[in-house]
Amino acid sequence: MTWRATILTLFPAMFPGPLGQSLAGRALEQGIWHLETRDIRDFASGKHRSVNDTPFGGGAGMVMRPDVVDAAIESAADERPLLYMTPRGRPLAQEDVARLAAGPGLIVLCGRYEGVDQRVIDARHAFEISIGDFVLSGGELAAMAVLDACVRLLPGVMGAAESAAEESFTNGLLEYPHYTRPADWNGNPVPPVLLSGNHAAIAAWRAHEAETITRQRRPDLWQARAPHEMKGP
Ligand code: ADE
């Protein structure tokens, strides 16, 4: 079965956007995955077809109406998980991506304005997902990030050259640094071990680099490593 993504958005013209290029775009053309958008505005009724309203309790901005959003969800709902992209969500991790890529696909709700009425998020048991501790102007770019991360893991999308086996997060660490020709660039040599032909020494050097950079940049990842991976204090 083809992995299917349905995007519920007020800006369907933003898609496929970058997902129509490169790896994801090629996979889309090959039919490895399928992308469909639904314009949330098509599910608004009434004279003004309004999709949002002022927040109860006061405050800035507008809130997307639960009745309109629910009708959009209903039009797409099936066995696929429903994600709601929001900076309030649980941070997306590579293990989540792997799980989502192994399933039938995704339905992704993209909010605009101040967000979506919480009742429809709760009633539909949507998974609230964040792509980082910063605020985008809407969920669309976040949805694209999730889709890109999933699609590259689908069978037949990544070649051997782009193997996911050694990349960042797969083993709970950031990845080691990469170098290519020229061996000396503007007086900057590559680390000599990489030219040694000694595969064991190269593997050891890379493991050490990955650990060092993870400790420096991501003490949270370093602390979270499984106990069996721990090597001393
Ligand atoms: N919508 C706005 N900001 C977002 C973020 N950081 N992650 C997911 N969805 C968002």
Q: Is 105 in the pocket of ligand 1 (CB under 6 A)?
A: no
**What's the rounded mean pLDDT across residues 73-83?**
98
In a domain, 161, yes or no: no
Tell whether 230 is covered by a domain: no
Ligand 1 atom 4 nearest Cα: 87
Asked if 15 and 126 sit in the same domain, the reply is: yes
Residues 200 and 122 in one domain: no
For residue 68, which of 47, 87, 40, 95 has the smallest C-alpha distance?
40
To test the pocket of ligand 1, the residue of 113, 135, 141 to mutate (highest count of ligand atoms within 8 Å of its CB) is 135
* Domain identity same for 123 and 52: yes
Q: Is the CB of 110 under 6 A from ligand 1?
A: no
Q: Which atom of ligand 1 is found nearest the CA of 135? A: 3
Cβ of 136 less than 6 Å from ligand 1: yes
Predicted pLDDT at 160: 61
152 has a pLDDT exceeding 80: yes
> Domain of 184: which CATH number?
1.10.1270.20
Residue nearest atom 5 of ligand 1, based on CA coordinates: 87
Q: What is the mean predicted confidence (pLDDT) over 91-97?
A: 97
Residue 68, in any domain of the structure: yes
Cβ of 56 below 6 Å from ligand 1: no
**Looking at the domain assignment, is residue 28 inside a domain?**
yes
Residue 10 lies inside a defined structural domain of this protein = yes
- In this prediction, residue 166 has a pLDDT band, given cuts at 50, 70 and 90, of confident
Percent of the chain with pLDDT over 90: 88
The secondary structure of 142-179 as a DSSP string is: HHHHHHHHHHTTSTTTS-GGG-STTSTTTTSSPPPP--
CA distance 115 to 136: 11
User: Among 151, 182, 208, which residue terminates a domain?
Assistant: 151
Is residue 145 located within the same domain as residue 170?
Answer: no
Average pLDDT, the chain: 94
Q: Are residues 92 and 172 in the same domain?
A: no
Residue 86 lies in domain:
3-151
- The residue among 151, 176, 207 that closes a domain is 151
**Distance from the alpha carbon of residue 37 to the mean position of ligand 1, in angstroms:** 19
C-alpha 93 – ligand 1 centre gap (Å) = 14
Q: Are residues 85 and 179 in the same domain?
A: no
Of 134, 136, 144, 148, the residue with max ligand 1 atoms within 8 A of its CB, to mutate for a pocket test, comes to 136
Here the CATH number for the domain that contains residue 37 is 3.40.1280.10
Count of CA atoms in the C-beta half-sphere (13 A) of 112: 13
Pairing of strands 82-91, 105-110: parallel
Q: pLDDT grade, residue 225 (50/70/90)?
A: confident
Position 123 scores a pLDDT of 98
Q: 116 and 40 in one domain?
A: yes
Atom of ligand 1 nearest to the CA of 133: 6
Are 139 and 189 found together in one domain?
A: no
* 140 shares its domain with 175: no
Per-residue confidence (pLDDT) for residue 113, from 0 to 100: 80
Residue 168: the pLDDT is 85
Is 158 contained in some domain?
no
Look at residue 171 in the predicted model and tell me its pLDDT. Answer: 87
What is the gyration radius of the CA atoms in the chain, in angstroms?
Answer: 22
User: Which one, of 50, 33, 123, 45, lies nearest residue 84 by Cα?
Assistant: 123
**112 and 210 both lie in a single domain:** no
Q: 139 in ligand 1 pocket by Cβ < 6 Å? A: yes
Same domain for 93 and 41:
yes
Total number of domains in the chain: 2
* Residues 126 and 55 both lie in one domain: yes
Residue 142 has pLDDT above 70, yes or no: yes
Residue 159 lies in a domain: no
pLDDT of residue 145: 98
| Arithmetic mean of pLDDT, 197-220 | 98
Q: Is residue 180 part of a domain?
A: yes
